[in-house]
Structure 1
Amino acid sequence: MTHVGLFNNLFSEEFHSIEEPSQPDSIPATIYLKHALTTPYLMHQILATSALHLSTRTPESRNFYREYSAGLQNRALSLFNESNPVLEVTPANCVQMFLFSSLVGVHLLCDALHYQRDSIEVFIDGFTRCLNVYRGVLAVIDQSRHLLRETELGSVLEMSHVLMGSTDTSTSGSECDALRSLIDAADVPPSSRKAYRESLFYLQQVFDAQRAAPGNKTVFAWPVLVSPAYVDLLRQRQAEALIILAHYAVILHHSRHLWLIGNGGQFLVESISGSLGSNWQEWLKFPNAGLRGEPAS
């Protein structure tokens, strides 16, 4: 009966608030549900996400639903591994594998934003574990992109590619310019500088995509794109890596109306600002101004 309740919640208006029907890069919940009905691992993951949603909306049952969500996701992962002992993407399974991989990544990010918040150290531990799993989404996309183009997801993925893939620098924004300049002048190893600059390149693309089509799902793109080198630097709590994360938190803050994100962006900016101290406040002017809805001066 709990599963029935979780399934029923998938049709609630609040759960569907994560959809942006007017956005061409949004995958309707109906597509997830259609494939979940014949794919047990996808159904378990969808129910896990429903339980995670209810954990954020029912304080008296938060622990129950969060633990139930974790159990369903673990079962989903087990079923996925049983169904795919050899990770091979084919025309018959590419849609289900893509939907499952993307949903697992978003679920883990959401859980970190809501529940890994005892301290910035606790959050970074949970978030970097999330990134290592989330980057697996990119592997699935890379393997299946040519197959997915021929499916019902083709137009959605093409629009996501257009939003994130523009090389027209004349339309690029300046959100990351000041931080890029500071990192270029910083005393850091060349390998670290390379990882930071690459992370900022992708982050600026997300800012540009959000500006071109407010509400699109590129808010979840950056964690997929960052390199393992950046994740390692973040795990080490390197100040520059934390400050890049604080800039990403501004994007999260802009999407705080989504239950998946809530006030996670605000938590990150405030926690990182507090943990780094006064010597780094010049580097954090943009994130702090973003929380206030002001341009960084």
Structure 2
Amino acid sequence: MPRRTHTKSRNGCLECKRRHIKCDEKHPICSNCRSSERFCEYADRFIRAARSRSSKSSTPSPVGPVPDELPLGRFADPISSSDNPPVNMLHAELFFNIDCTLRSLSEGGAVWINSSDVMQIIIATPYLMNEVLALSALHLSVVRSDDRERYRRYAAQLQTHALEIYNQMRLDVNKETCVPLFLFSCILGMHTLCDVLVHREDTSFDEFLERLVHCFRLQLGIRVVISGPTWSMLRESILKSALQNGEIMFEWDTELGPECARLLRLIEAAKLGDTITSTYRNAVQALQVSINATIRGAVKNVSGVTGWSVIVNPEYVEYLTLRRPEALVILAHYAVLPHWHRHIWLFGDGGRFMIESISSYLGPEWAEWLEWPNRALGEPDP
């Protein structure tokens, strides 16, 4: 019996081709690779384009910026090939932009991230170097809107390379590895949060929330890096001064400000049960800590925005997954923090989007609960 013929996709990613599944060809990462957290690359198209150019002319082209059709390659990878060079001109561009990227974050209060000691560690650690280059590409995808998708694709590829190297190394946490692991966790968290808040595209609120929950779960992993004896090692490292300042900034205080106190009263009056109420109480207290960290000092600190998802309890994130309205209200209150930092490329208008989307999702019957977040959209920043 003759075999039934079918049309194959010629433009799918390499991973879907390897797994013999249909690729939806979304960029920078197809849906299959995104859901299974696999490395997604359309390198076959890039290689064909490069070979096509070389067959048209035997004269080498002058050195210049890397065009969109060339493969990205890996940074600090010992394996080299003519089709996929270990370092190319794009890497040089991203490396040159690292200082601008980190300086923009240090101006937002994350001073520790742009020190010379930290840069030496970044350069000496391949998985960390790849992630910092990925953050640099993400920065360019925001500030250079004309090349948004190209730089975003590079950011996704470099982040995937970073995670591949990290997973292959299976590092034990010790005095030598604790600092790069901590830096990697923090920068990976910033990258993921920015990608969710800024690169929303035309996704629905449900899709946005799924990506945000994934981001929060990833950032909760930072707890593993800084737990137990690891924290003691970090406090004796080159990050000692920064971490001591962070401890002061994120000092846990059960005294709530007027906005968080009002929110907690509404939650307790709703009679949700001891377990749920306790989870929400912890989330609101963590939110107050993050608010304090954000507005403490002369410069509003981005660590207050990125820190909440690290110190909030995992149970709250699960209630957020279930779309419980009270959990969404707490999220809307948290969204005020990135809204205060909307001038920083890392957050953009993500805070406003969350507040307005949650208000629309819950409807007018929750207007009393969402009074402060909506009011904050029209008020000057503190």
TM-score by length of 1: 0.91
Letter in 2 for 1:19: S
Find the aligned partners of 1:200 and 1:101 in 2 and give their Cα distance. Answer: 24
Q: Which has the higher mean CA deviation after the structures are superposed, 109-118 or 264-273?
A: 109-118
- Over 3 Å counting, the alpha-carbon distance change for 1:243 and 1:168 in structure 2 is closer
Find the aligned partners of 1:199 and 1:6 in 2 and give their Cα distance. Answer: 37
Partner of 1:4: 92
- Aligned match for 2:373, one of 272, 287, 292: 287
TM-score by length of 2: 0.72
Q: CA deviation at 1:61?
A: 1.5
- Whether contact under 8 Å (2:141, 2:148) holds in the other structure is yes
Q: CA deviation at 1:190?
A: 2.7
Which structure has the greater CA radius of gyration?
2
- Aligned match for 2:190, one of 103, 106, 111: 106
Percent sequence identity over aligned pairs: 39
Task: Give runs of ≥4 in structure 1 deviating > 6 Å.
Answer: none
Alpha-carbon RMSD across the aligned residues, in angstroms, is: 1.9
Partner of 1:274: 360
Partner of 1:138: 223
Partner of 1:180: 264
- Over 3 Å counting, the alpha-carbon distance change for 1:256 and 1:112 in structure 2 is same
Find the aligned partners of 2:224 and 2:239 in 1 and give their Cα distance. Answer: 17
Find the aligned partners of 1:20 and 1:145 in 2 and give their Cα distance. Answer: 26
Letter in 2 for 1:37: I
Q: CA deviation at 1:89?
A: 1.1
**Length, aligned pairs only:** 289
Counterparts in 2 of 1:22-61, with a 5 A limit?
23=109, 26-61=112-147
Q: Which has the higher mean CA deviation after the structures are superposed, 26-35 or 195-204?
A: 26-35
Which stretches in structure 2 are left out of the alignment for 5+ residues? 1-88
Find the aligned partners of 1:96 and 1:291 in 2 and give their Cα distance. Answer: 37
Letter in 2 for 1:4: A
1:257 and 2:356 aligned:
no
- Over 3 Å counting, the alpha-carbon distance change for 1:260 and 1:50 in structure 2 is same
Find the aligned partners of 1:31 and 1:270 in 2 and give their Cα distance. Answer: 41
Q: CA deviation at 1:15?
A: 5.5
Which stretches in structure 1 are left out of the alignment for 5+ residues? none
- Whether contact under 8 Å (1:15, 1:53) holds in the other structure is no
Letter in 1 for 2:355: V
Letter in 1 for 2:210: D
Partner of 2:180: 96
1:16 and 2:103 aligned:
yes
Find the aligned partners of 1:29 and 1:261 in 2 and give their Cα distance. Answer: 23
Find the aligned partners of 1:145 and 1:287 in 2 and give their Cα distance. Answer: 34
Larger helix fraction of residues: 1
- Whether contact under 8 Å (2:99, 2:114) holds in the other structure is no
Letter in 2 for 1:225: I
Q: CA deviation at 1:8?
A: 0.9
| 1:89-144 superposed Cα distances (whole Å, 9 cap, x missing partner) | 10111111111111111111111101236222111100111111111111101142
- Over 3 Å counting, the alpha-carbon distance change for 1:47 and 1:228 in structure 2 is same
Partner of 1:62: 148
Find the aligned partners of 1:148 and 1:163 in 2 and give their Cα distance. Answer: 17
